[in-house]
Structure 1
Amino acid sequence: MLKLQHIGKQFDGKTVLDDISFEIGTGEIMSLLGPSGSGKTTLLHLILGLTGADRGSIVFGDEDLTRVPMKKRGFNIVFQDFALFPNLNAYENVVYGLRNKKGLVSPKEVQEYIDFLELTPHLNKKIGELSGGQKQRVALARTLVAKPKLLLLDEPLSALDGVIKESIKQRIQSIAREFKLTTLIVTHDPEEALTMSDKILIINQGRIAQFGAPQDIIGRPANEFVEQFIIKQLRIKRQNIFNLFGEMYA
């Protein structure tokens, strides 16, 4: 569904991304994982179309999108700060992007997305009256009603904690499965990547450190960086990861 080949990007003569290649299928969730400054957000922006690649190609389905403008790609992003309009209520935020897209979705379909994300009791609330988890669900609903071909999430859990974070993780997984929506998540947190994703792309200093399924990365870290970044950080959260991967992580 989405295929990147030999992507490279420089800013002011400095290489930010170098020879990035990967492929993910329909309905899969992939996390872009790495420390701050590793290039993962730049890669997300390249896929979205906010900035262009210096070399390489971006293919979605059978279409080469490398030089296609962002507006014509049909991808949508949920930003880290949700980017909701505080002067509008939750429902108005959900349907805001449909003003100039008459006929894209029916009122019944909009309500189905709202019901799926359990937002009906909160539709008349202003954004300031919502919890962090409710804001995230509004942002997700606003994105889903636009019927994106690809869903991009920039640090979607960073402002959440505890039960709310776990709930949103499950929502994101349900969205990908229910709507067969290929989803890319930028995160700096190994636990988030390992517990949410079908595949993980670990980036270090603009290059791929490892790409694979969570079980493969846990069981066979490709190099010392992955060992340090993934395994040692996860020892703090050992029980959560042990519950998922059992003896592999013991």
Structure 2
Amino acid sequence: MLELTHIQKSFDGVTVLKDISMQVEEGEIVSILGPSGCGKTTLLNLILGIVEADAGTICYNGEDLTRAAMEKRGFNIVFQDYALFPNLNVYQNITYGLKNRPGISTQKEVEELIHLLGLEEHLSKRVDQLSGGQKQRVALARTMVMKPRILLLDEPLSALDGVIKESIKDRIKTIAREFHLTTIIVTHDPEEALTLSDRVLIIDQGTIAQYGCPADIIQKPENDFVRTFILNQLEIKRNNIYALFGADAAGRAG
């Protein structure tokens, strides 16, 4: 379990995160949702260890990681731009991290992950020969072979659309379930968060506006910001809400 308690963060005297407390259970998919500039990426970076909190604690399975270096935490991230190595082919990108930690995944485990993500036919290709969805799958595979304790995803679907977006969404769910992998996703898209996650943390100007399961957020928004942001501003498609949460929720979204 990951637990954040009373996290505070400021940059140049400007408060970015204020009194953030949350728990993430093992194997959960949690989305951090909010508009641009609300602090969600800063929160992801605090969990990863790129940024250090001004106050508060970050614990994982009872271990205090608040001041621990990123490499000591065992959390891995897939960045929004994938951050693949253009001079390496797909297979070399996937297995790059194993050069320094060769025993962390066996050859069989690497092959099973490649199969799970449907990358067999692309292994010898260069990065510039791949589509956006293929690059996303390679980035996921490269992270997964390192067996992270927590998988962090920064806007994983923002550059994708249509069938490709739904395919990657399904693969993220499959990976989380099959590996019982705690997964934290940053997104600005309410529909993405609500259809992908077990729970959603909504941030408004650095504070928690609501933290709960998708059904509760749709059916019981705790304040006007959540109601406006989820249902009106970003115009979530009524048919998707209907399929997930029923007619009452779809009526409220309309």
- State whether structure 2 residue 162 is matched by structure 1 residue 158: no
- State whether structure 2 residue 143 is matched by structure 1 residue 147: no
Alpha-carbon RMSD: 0.9
The residue aligned with 1:19 is 19
Q: Which runs of 5+ in 2 are unaligned?
A: none
- In the aligned structure 2, how far is the partner of 1:32 from the partner of 1:26? 16
Partner secondary structure for residue 159 of structure 1: coil
The residue aligned with 1:5 is 5
- In the aligned structure 2, how far is the partner of 1:36 from the partner of 1:79? 17
Per-residue CA deviations over 1:67-90 (Å, capped at 9, x if unaligned) read 110010000000001000111111
**Is this contact kept in 1: 2:58–2:66, CA < 8 A?**
yes
Identical counterparts, % of pairs: 66
Q: CA deviation at 1:235?
A: 3.6
Partner secondary structure for residue 134 of structure 2: helix
Q: CA deviation at 1:131?
A: 1.1
Q: CA deviation at 1:111?
A: 0.6
Q: CA deviation at 1:102?
A: 2.1
Amino acid at match of 2:113: Y
Q: TM-score, normalised by structure 1?
A: 0.98
The residue aligned with 2:34 is 34
The residue aligned with 1:208 is 208
Per-residue CA deviations over 1:205-244 (Å, capped at 9, x if unaligned) read 0000000000000001010100110011454522222221
Q: CA deviation at 1:248?
A: 3.1
- In the aligned structure 2, how far is the partner of 1:13 from the partner of 1:126? 44
Per-residue CA deviations over 1:163-220 (Å, capped at 9, x if unaligned) read 0000000001111100010000000000000000000000010000000000000001
**Is this contact kept in 2: 1:234–1:241, CA < 8 A?**
no
**Is this contact kept in 2: 1:218–1:248, CA < 8 A?**
no
- In the aligned structure 1, how far is the partner of 2:232 from the partner of 2:216? 16
Q: Which runs of 4+ in 1 moved over 6 A?
A: none
Q: Which runs of 5+ in 1 are unaligned?
A: none
- In the aligned structure 2, how far is the partner of 1:248 from the partner of 1:146? 43
Q: TM-score, normalised by structure 2?
A: 0.97
Partner secondary structure for residue 165 of structure 2: helix
Amino acid at match of 2:121: P
- In the aligned structure 2, how far is the partner of 1:119 from the partner of 1:20? 38
Amino acid at match of 1:199: R
The residue aligned with 1:227 is 227
- In the aligned structure 1, how far is the partner of 2:63 from the partner of 2:174? 27
